[in-house]
A and B are shown apart, each in its own frame.
Chain A
Amino acid sequence: MSAPPAITVTDLVKVYGSRTVVDHVSMEVAPGEIVGFLGPNGSGKTTTIRMMCGLLTPDGGSGKVLGHDILRAQRAIKREVGYMTQRFSFYEDLTIEENLRFVAGVYGLEKGAVAQALADLGLTSRKHQLAGALSGGWKQRLALAACIMHRPKLLMLDEPTAGVDPKARRDFWDEIHERAAEGLTVLVSTHYMDEAERCHRINYISYGRLISHGTVAEVVAHAGLTTVILRGGDIVAAQKRLRGQPGVDQVAPYGTDLHVIGANGAALRRAAEAVAAETGARLIPAETGLEDVFIQLMGAAQDNMS
């Protein structure tokens, strides 16, 4: 018997006007797990997260977050969950310290919490600076510090590292993993592939529908794609020739390499071999990357819609 899941939602639906923005999304997240939430712009990630943390009322479906019903116990959820909004939504006309003090007061935290959070952030010397005057990356770090100050059991982070430099991003993920090891559960939306690969599991949503989930390896395997690389020769000509060939779904140049990806492995290899011979390139079999899978999924979802 494993511990009860931190998040378990079934068939969440959200409709805006005539558009179904979230369409029967079900998800389960175990305690201590770091789960990535991926999908193209406008696919419904933010909307789904908002429904799970009690900020939006679902038009359909049900579920529990930390054992609290998402339809009835929204206040209990808000107390135990840390939610970091996609857009910076702390007060720009308050200083860093005042913002943190406000959060500490609302959650009823003890006196030292603000000083501790400032020290952790490395912002103690700049605590009197207005939050609005911080750079984009520092705003993100302030927001993150503020939403973990009350020691939530579950973090829902909506693109927490957008605009953050690589070093800070690395630090951020190290910290997330440390906390997860202590039992914190994290649901994080992101557009970065390297971040997706640092998650225990990922969920991929497109046009409001959850279309793939599992570990990164599972998602890649499940996509069933074949990838070959054309190296050397006339890349530009090869790219032109390969576009639209049977079996070729994606053609993407990477420096002097050309990645060719398709769902139909046999057809793909036939086309690639022919073009490689024509343009004088070497043909190298390769692993399919997560990004290629997502691009494939986006294309497929678009086909479904039309």
Chain B
Amino acid sequence: MKRRTFLSAAAGLSVSFLAGCALPVIPRRPAPSAAGAHAWIRHHEGRYALYLPRVEMGQNIATAMKQVACAELGAAWDRVNVILPATSDIGPVRATVGSESVRDFAVPLAQACATLRDALAAGRTEGHIDARPYPLEALRAFRADAGAAAGPPALVQGEAIVRGEALYVADVRRPGMVFGRVLRAPASPELAARPLGYDAAAARAEPGFVALVRDPLLRQGRSEGVGIVARTPGALDRIESALAVRWHVDGGFTQATIDAALDLAPRLARGALAKTVRRGCIDRAARWDVDLAIDVPLAAHGAIEPRAAVAEFGSDGRLQLWVGSQDVFYQRDVMARRLGLENDRIVVTGCRVGGAFGGKTICTVELEAAVLARAAARPVKVQWTRAQEFRFGFHRPPSRHRLRARLEDGRLSQWWHAFSSSHILFTNAVVPPWLQHVTDLIGDDGVARGAALPYRAAAQRTEFDLVRLPVLTGPWRGLGAGPNALAIESAIDECARAANADAVAFRIAQIEEPRLARVLQCAAAAAGWGHKPAPAADRRVGRGVACGTYKGTSHAAVVADVEVDASGRLRVTRLVCAHDCGRVINPDQVRAQCEGNLVWGLGMVIADALPVASSRVAADSFADAPIPRIGDVPPMEILLVDAGDAPSGAGETAIVAAAGAIANAVRDATGHRPTRFPVAAGDLRTLPA
């Protein structure tokens, strides 16, 4: 059993969890197993090693978890060393997604640390003990004053980042390593594509050529791949040109194909949509006070780090793989299955991830690297080009929303939100079409996330259709919550106008959840909601508000100020955000997550969209798929509300309020309700073009 190997290998004291004790550390995938829970915290000669059971991708969870460990162990900051583990170091843990790390992992970590602390105090220094399920009140790490005295701790790996040390997967260099790339037809992997021919002799003649690799495992979706391996990264470009692969692609599509597939009118004309979130009875025939259509397009994650992997086979056939993935154990399991290796012949090391946002949850470049390394019998590094990121990565699905509301005595009485979108959790980047017929019976909680109205209305109907699109779609920061909340908060804003009510007061009167009402009040007060920004002669100014709850446990409200000039140029001038994710371990880094989400909300309104043409995502660089630049980002104020509730997620919460607040501010400034995103200057122009 692995645990024994571990014990014999290390003289020191470690703590792990017994499978079956009532702690939420048992992963949903892979299945729980007794051998699965290896030590996260280990003690050796007065020092501690924290094997981080989460992936570090910029949420600075390493810092928060180290704070928990230090507080619970009573250890000085420099006594605890954080290690980003390999699959051989700890038992399987599930993917780092959905802002769950503090909520689900910090408490078990604190319990493990408390167990270790008490054992050391009792004089025990060797061996292995199982973590005891201390109740929350008994844990020191979650007391209100836990970290207050020390001030914000230094970021784990912060100094290594500013010094440019090797941290990310593409920074891994192995002796004899070469560079790989998998070429594919310039078409969405949803279309069957194969090479018709290529000039292998010309490719081989290029300096730096190492190998040309044909392997059925290089297929992504329905797109066959041709692998090339070279001695230098630049040689890959030259070999790719020399090879000049000619492709056959089955079928084709354009943006119009996607527009038609998502069109809500014919779907609603046929009757109810396939999935319901709220199934109240509404009167479809009577006149609606608000009737709004909102279109949110396909959008990229745009992480600055393109996907990458390094693979190396030992002479004994063992595979070492370095990944920048949100799910390190999943990578191992995929390798085992696809390459026919036993789990214990694969070691996957998770590196710090250079931004993921839901995009680095599946296996793509990792398998490419492993297949090329096996064929070339050398360690191989593959990093996708930016163009490959857009073409072969998956994206936020587009969605079309129709929102209708009826008011009675200035209050919501009937609410009807219908939308169409594509798959997120059951992404078409992994799920083949035949299996999608099965998953569609279940639905897709990712698409539905954030779709339930957080306000009281006597009758509510929220329903949606899932449509498999010819472009790859999947998880994107907040899943469906960002677009759904943008649509809902736009419509609620129109409801407040129709009721002739103040946008904040209208919401507060009808919000179901008191914590949501509290953050809204808090943001409104901090922004000086009652005092609108001063009008200006040469531009229109406006202010908007929005709020929302993420995954039922975290709450945010945002007030946005904007300016729009006569040419339609939109500038967001201030964002104020109040945020409640329960007990906060590291206020500064929760603020950082809020700032990130505000910038993402800004991006949803001013930038996020991917062009589709010629049967593919037609973006090759950030020039075709822009993200907000520093000049677009206004001053941001973040207020954290911590009333001692159980800790919940901060990584995706504020996105549910940011875009809506900005859109509502645009409406306030210009009288134009943004219905298509990103907002086009042409829609806000008062001057002739």
Q: Do A and B come from one complex?
A: no
A→B interface (CB under 8 Å): none
